[in-house]
Structure 1
Amino acid sequence: MRQFTWDDLQYFLAVARTGQLTTAARRLRTNHVTVSRRIDRLEESLSARLFERNPRGYVLTALGEKLVESAEIMEREADRFQNEASEGTVSLTGVVRLSILEGFANFFLADRMPRMAQSYPGLSIEMVTIQQIVSLSRRDADLSITLHATRTGPYFQEKLTPYRLFIYGSRDYLARHSPIGEQSDLSNHRFIGYIEDMIFTPGLDYMREILPGLHPAYQSSSIFAQLSATRSGFGLCILPYFIACKYPELVPVLPKDLHLNRDYWMICHEDIVSTPRIRALSDFIKSEVKTQSSVFAGERLLG
């Protein structure tokens, strides 16, 4: 057995977590040929097979499974080393992958990210809005913004902000359809919502709370598509105030009587929560959210 290269462990962990050379390569910002070569080199230096190769990807061998924990300990120590070495410095480099809900990403955070880039030009942010395919437990992401706290696992989590959702319709739609004076009148209207059998978290199941038994006539997994259909006059839709308030053609329906309360949570692995790159992004998000707390709460509609 010859001495293995420490740097090869990050390739080992990336493949172990993703099971795919190409996916691991994207995470490491390299190409699949390099990842394959580094895995081969690590196995050769250890005189052991860490993965079984098959048409579906790379699967850990029993020995590979055993070594993942040790490799992750080394990874955490490397992060801690970098953290301690970076104390007091301004320049940050590296990549932070953020798993985030589509509405929060596209309608709040995206247009604020240039300020983050100005403060930390060497830091690269990856925002993944398809949370169904991203797992913190597999370390597919470094930081996650979700609707619920997690009950298990070595995570640091904090409530980011509460927010409210209301029923909206376009002025044109409301003018062309029967008036809405009370909740029972809503059953006479078309609704727009999520695809029911694709709702991946209970917090998005709005219809069950507002109008149990009523199924949306137009369903989409994208809140952007729902917003577009609402603005075009297709029907009514339940939308967060911080999104809908940007469009003057949208009118809230019975806002004081009918609204939903939700929370955004920020979650991260305990072992990296204090690293400079994670702390920089999480502090930035918290600061931006704090300045808009009344907007998230929809206070104007309840006053």
Structure 2
Amino acid sequence: MSDPKWDDLRVFLAVAREETLSAAGKTLKLDPATVGRRVARLETDLDAALFLKSPQGYVLTPAGQRLLDKATTVETAMLDLSGDVTDRAGALTGQIRLGAPDGAANYLLPQVCSKICADNPGLEVQLVALPRVFNLSKREADMAVTVSPPATGRLTVQKLSDYKLHLAASTSYLRSMPPLQSLQDLKAHKIIGYISDLIFDKELDYLSEIGSPKVDFASNSVSVQINWARGGAGVVIAHDFALPNAPELQKVLSDQMSLTRSFYLVRHADDRKIARLTRFAEELATHLPREIARLEART
């Protein structure tokens, strides 16, 4: 039995994470038949069955689970080797993929990441905006900004910053509707919010703070909600840091309703050893709170 090569371990990791040959092949840019042959070859080399085929796809055997732990450690080392920590001038280089909910990804992180990249010309940042929880164990991203700290998994969590949200509506909408003088008056207004069964984190259930009124316009996207409000559709609970990008909107009932939430940076525990990712995390922890403070001051 020979030690598995890194190229074989990459195939194994992709199948373990994606659970089908076709999905693993898409990740690896290989056809599914080739992926299947590579897995079979690895099982022969190791003299062990690594997967069981089930109706749900490929499921790890006990031997496969043991190899997964070792392969993840090797992957971490290879990621560290493949991305130089710094260039000769001491700047960050290489590629980093950052996941984030779409509110932060649309209104906050572009300028934060641009600042970091301006200071580090050899750095490439990929910003993945998805209205759901990221699976770091499947390497969907190198790290993720979240709205609550995860309770399970081999992850490290760092609080980045608090941020505020308020009710807001367009001037044109407010002129055409009954006066808004108290939270009770919201009953006579159109409400914009999340699709209830697509709220992926309890921290996003903002409307429960005002009695869970009926939602007239719903989306799982923050930017869609804000654009609805900009067009005069109704009242929305908006991030203060997004309001400078929506000049049509003004806060309403801010003395009666104000929410505070937090952003967290989540990383795979093994990635603490990758200096490039740690350095980027430090930059993010410095610049993101400053940008939130700058934008909130404008509202």
TM-score w.r.t. the length of structure 1 is 0.84
State the distance in 2 between where 1:168 and 1:221 align.
Answer: 18
State the distance in 2 between where 1:277 and 1:26 align.
Answer: 27
Cross-structure match for 2:132: 131
Cross-structure match for 2:232: 233
The correspondence of residues 1-303 of structure 1 with structure 2, limited to 5 A, is 1-2=1-2, 4-25=4-25, 27-28=27-28, 30-33=29-32, 35-53=35-53, 56-78=56-78, 86=85, 90=90, 95-117=95-117, 119-121=120-122, 123=124, 125=126, 127-132=128-133, 134-209=134-209, 211-295=210-294, 298-299=296-297
State the distance in 2 between where 1:117 and 1:37 align.
Answer: 41
SS at match of 2:255: coil
Pick closer, same or farther for the CA change 1:202–1:295 going to 2, 3 Å.
farther
State the distance in 2 between where 1:164 and 1:139 align.
Answer: 30
Pick closer, same or farther for the CA change 1:152–1:262 going to 2, 3 Å.
same
State the distance in 1 between where 2:298 and 2:111 align.
Answer: 23
Deviation of 1:204 (Å): 0.6
Contact persistence 2:101–2:130 (CA under 8 A): yes
Identity %: 31
Q: What are the superposed Cα offsets for residues 157-196 of structure 1, whole Å, 9 maximum, x if unpaired? A: 2111110011111111000011112222122111000011
State the distance in 1 between where 2:167 and 2:283 align.
Answer: 30
Contact persistence 2:105–2:127 (CA under 8 A): no
Pick closer, same or farther for the CA change 1:141–1:194 going to 2, 3 Å.
same
SS at match of 1:237: strand
Contact persistence 2:85–2:93 (CA under 8 A): no
State the distance in 2 between where 1:114 and 1:294 align.
Answer: 17
Q: What are the superposed Cα offsets for residues 64-101 of structure 1, whole Å, 9 maximum, x if unpaired? A: 12322232333345456678x84775576655332211
Deviation of 1:31 (Å): 2.8
State the distance in 1 between where 2:16 and 2:87 align.
Answer: 34
SS at match of 1:272: helix
Contact persistence 2:22–2:31 (CA under 8 A): yes
State the distance in 2 between where 1:223 and 1:35 align.
Answer: 38
Pick closer, same or farther for the CA change 1:267–1:2 going to 2, 3 Å.
closer
Question: Paired residues, what number?
Answer: 296
Contact persistence 2:244–2:298 (CA under 8 A): no
> Which has the larger displacement, 178-187 or 134-143?
134-143
Report the AA paired with residue 147 of structure 1.
V
Contact persistence 1:99–1:131 (CA under 8 A): no
SS at match of 1:67: helix
Q: What are the superposed Cα offsets for residues 1-32 of structure 1, whole Å, 9 maximum, x if unpaired? A: 4553233112212221221334434545x334
Gaps of 5+ in 1: none
SS at match of 2:263: strand
